[in-house]
Structure 1
């Protein structure tokens, strides 16, 4: 927290006038960035006809890359996920944030593929984006186009038929 306060150019007292805790600061940052992701989903929802799922995923991953900078919000998200494993306040924060994203993704999924289970499709969409984030932040070796190409190959080779066989 001392580094954050110093970077902001505030005194400790001034900082705590705005934020009562580290969790509150992270919540404020997260809310701002969730708005970006939800905004991306809303823009995709407005398109007529609705975009195909590969277009949806490409745009979501592009949004990740746009927010990946050295101190970008994507990196902060990974830190918050780590904190959530040990801190119930962070776990609640992460649950609420991803609940909002999943809910909006489910609305989009229902529009993109009315025959699919929107909650299931949204859960997978969010999981794929989170997996991409982890690989970009921790490994730094995955390329968006390669990731999308792999996703396309996975779905074309092991699509709906493969999913039923796994049961």
Structure 2
């Protein structure tokens, strides 16, 4: 029997993940059965179970993959020299989220995954790790702003990083559920709350006239 190539194995694995994600988005995580995934992927049960032992394993993979895409984008931006202003970082991250929320993109499942994680210990561990890693990136970002003199040196980076991190689940909720949140609008809001002058040591208008 000819040996199956790594490329073939990866294509088949990708086929299963894409089929499962389409089912989850269309029918919901709970309502989708393994039989639905077999049919969507046009594969036998044996072919799917060769790669994933259960629906939970497929969900874990999709959550890890989607979170990894966002973390990769955030890490690259945070480690840019010099780090971007908050509004520019917000714009770039919100744009990436909207890209991942198009069609059958992984961000479309974020809200369902959070809800499922509330009472699924296995998934909760995956979601928690993804969120904590992202939050750590935001803490690093605040520290880098402080190191470059754009925030006070004694700022509580952990507290500030948690606040900035919290903006993005909020953007996902509004973008997916309300349908009226756009990257440019969010960036403008961040710019209004955190004007560039607040990150350069130059007094703001309010502070000057007080």
State the TM bucket, normalised to the shorter chain: 0.7 to 0.9
Which moves more between the two structures, 68-77 or 128-137? 68-77
1:2-151 matches, cutoff 5 A: 2-114=35-147, 115=153, 116-151=155-190
Distance 1:12 1:59, change over 3 A: same
Larger radius of gyration: 2
Alpha-carbon shift at residue 3 of structure 1 (Å): 2.6
Distance 1:13 1:122, change over 3 A: farther
Note the residue ranges of structure 1 that are not aligned, 5 or more in a row.
160-167
Alpha-carbon shift at residue 108 of structure 1 (Å): 2.3
**Runs of 4+ residues deviating >6 angstroms:** none
User: Over aligned residues, Cα RMSD in angstroms?
Assistant: 2.0
> Partners in 2 of 1:22 and 1:126 — Cα distance?
29
> Partners in 1 of 2:60 and 2:142 — Cα distance?
27
> Partners in 2 of 1:132 and 1:63 — Cα distance?
12
Whether the 8 Å contact between 1:34 and 1:97 is mirrored in structure 2 is yes
Alpha-carbon shift at residue 95 of structure 1 (Å): 0.7
Encode CA deviations 1:3-37: one digit per residue, 9 max, x unaligned: 33322222222212211222211221222222221
Compare the two structures and name the one with the higher helix fraction. 1
> Partners in 1 of 2:185 and 2:133 — Cα distance?
28
> Partners in 2 of 1:61 and 1:113 — Cα distance?
23
Encode CA deviations 1:77-127: one digit per residue, 9 max, x unaligned: 111011112222222221111111112222222112343323222222221
Whether the 8 Å contact between 2:38 and 2:48 is mirrored in structure 1 is yes
Alpha-carbon shift at residue 155 of structure 1 (Å): 4.0
Note the residue ranges of structure 2 that are not aligned, 5 or more in a row.
1-32, 148-152, 199-210
